[in-house]
Amino acid sequence: MIFDEAPALRLSWIRALLVPVDPSRPAGVLILPPTAVGLSDAIGGGLLDDAVYATVNELGYCVYLDEERNAHGLPENRRAVALAARLGWSSLAGQIDLRGDVLVVGISLDGNDTDVP
């Protein structure tokens, strides 16, 4: 019976882009459960700050960060800043401080987390 349930559980997982602040760790796509715990674990276990929802070329996305990144003195994530600029995420400019590990997911039309565009 476990085998019957496993494929259904995997279908609900999402692909998210993790951009670590540590330049020695590679950025890459992770497969995560779309839960607060799953997303939080991906960025190091901090409380999630998911205040930035936007679209680029009609594809929705959300940027997750540690809510207490400034209080914890996390360093600026230069790779995430460069990615945001390169992809034309002008909606991020001046809205958030890209510090610590950054996780990017897609947003469905009904506002749920989905695969990164």
pLDDT at 4 (0 to 100) = 43
pLDDT at 50 (0 to 100) = 62
What are the pLDDT digits (tens) for 30-41? 999 989 999 999
Query: Cα–Cα distance between 63 and 75 in angstroms, integer?
Result: 17
Which positions of the chain have pLDDT values less than 70? Answer: 1-11, 50-57, 90-95
pLDDT at 5 (0 to 100) = 45
pLDDT at 90 (0 to 100) = 63
Strands of 41-96 (E only): list them: 48-56, 59-66
pTM of the model: 0.82
Query: Cα–Cα distance between 15 and 116 in angstroms, integer?
Result: 6
Element (H, E) at 112: none
